[in-house]
Amino acid sequence: MSAQALTGEMLEQEVMNSRSTVLIDFWAEWCGPCRMIAPIIDEIADMNLANVKVFKVNVDSEPELAGKFGIMSIPTLVVMKCGKRIATAIGVKSKQDIINMLV
């Protein structure tokens, strides 16, 4: 199961009110580095880590959602826990670096 698309309608239930750790990948189809990191994000989603949800936000189709998170460049990874941002990373990161953000 790869990362699920996150929409503005899902934000409250899936992210802000979630007790799970939530990884959000902000990306766009035209972004080369985003395409480089996409398989890593899907691998992490497929790992089914305990209490971790993985979502992707296409900044072109969800600009309001990207704005709520203050996304200025992509790819940007945001880790949320109990409705609070606990980590942010901009650019391509290794699988292990991303997993380290989650724990």
- Active site (catalytic) residues: 31, 34
| Sequence-distant (≥ 6) Cβ neighbours of residue 53 within 8 angstroms | 4, 14, 18, 20, 21, 22, 23
Residue labelled with tokens 């790819």: 75
Helix axes 32-46, 95-102, angle to 10 degrees: 60
Question: Which run of H or E residues covers position 5?
Answer: strand 4-5
Q: Which residues pair with 56 in a beta bridge?
A: 5, 25
